[in-house]
C-alpha cells in the first residue's frame, strides 16, 4: 500500500510515527483544481497532488475505520513512476468541482461512484471500486491522453 494512503487511514501500519494519530473528521480537506493538476490540503497540514497527465486511476472507498467510518473517499492515483496521488473525502471543500472534472474523463464509471455514495449515506463500508483507469478497455487511447489537457498524457516516459 502507498505510504500516503496509510497516513490517511491509520491502523493499517502500526510501525509508522503516525500510528496513534487521530484527526478530527470535522477538520476540512481543501481541494484546489488547476489546469495541470489537483492539489489537496489535508487538515494535518500535509499537501498532496497529482498531475492530470499522470493520473492513472480513480478509486472510490467507503471507509470502515474511525474516525471516518461510513464516509466516501476518492483516491486519485498517479502513474507508478510519478510518486503522486491524493486521498480526499467527498465532503471536502470544492469536492463538487473535482467530481465534475473526474466525470468528464472518458470511461468514468458513474454507477460505481453512485453505489459508493449510497453506501456511505447508509453508513456502510464497501470494498474499493475503480471508477476510472487510464487506457481501460473501451476507452480510446487518444481520449485518455487528452483527458488531462495534455497531448503527452498517455505516453510512457
Give the start-end residues of each E strand in the chain.
Answer: 30-33, 37-41, 47-51, 55-62, 72-78, 85-89, 126-133
pLDDT of residue 63 exceeding 90: no
In this prediction, residue 68 carries a pLDDT of: 67
**Tally of structural domains, the chain:** 1
pLDDT of residue 72 exceeding 70: yes
Q: Are 62 and 125 in contact (CB under 8 A)?
A: yes
Give me the mean pLDDT over the 22-40 stretch.
85
Boundaries of domain holding 84:
3-16+28-123
Residue 134 lies in a domain: no
Residue 37 lies in a domain: yes
In this prediction, residue 85 carries a pLDDT of: 96
90 or 146, higher pLDDT: 90
Residue 156 lies in a domain: no
Residue 146 lies in a domain: no
Residue 61 lies in a domain: yes
Residue 155 lies in a domain: no
Residue 151 lies in a domain: no
What digits encode the pLDDT tens for the residues 115-132? 999 988 888 878 899 999
Residue 36 lies in a domain: yes
Amino acid at each position: 500500500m502507498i505510504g500516503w494512503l496509510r497516513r490517511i487511514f491509520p491502523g493499517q501500519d502500526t510501525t509508522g510515527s503516525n500510528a496513534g494519530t487521530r484527526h478530527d473528521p470535522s477538520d476540512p480537506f481543501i481541494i484546489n483544481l488547476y489546469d495541470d493538476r489537483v492539489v489537496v490540503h489535508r487538515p494535518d497540514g500535509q499537501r498532496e497532488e497529482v498531475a492530470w497527465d499522470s493520473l492513472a486511476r480513480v478509486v472510490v472507498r467507503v471507509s470502515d475505520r474511525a474516525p471516518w467510518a461510513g464516509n466516501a473517499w476518492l483516491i486519485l492515483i498517479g502513474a507508478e513512476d510519478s510518486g503522486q496521488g491524493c486521498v480526499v473525502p467527498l465532503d471536502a471543500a470544492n469536492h463538487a468541482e473535482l467530481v465534475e472534472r473526474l466525470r468528464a474523463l472518458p470511461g468514468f464509471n458513474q454507477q460505481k461512484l453512485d453505489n459508493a455514495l449510497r453506501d456511505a449515506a447508509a453508513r456502510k463500508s464497501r470494498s474499493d471500486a475503480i471508477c476510472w483507469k487510464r487506457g481501460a478497455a473501451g476507452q480510446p487511447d487518444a481520449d485518455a491522453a487528452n483527458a488531462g489537457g495534455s497531448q503527452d498524457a498517455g505516453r510512457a516516459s
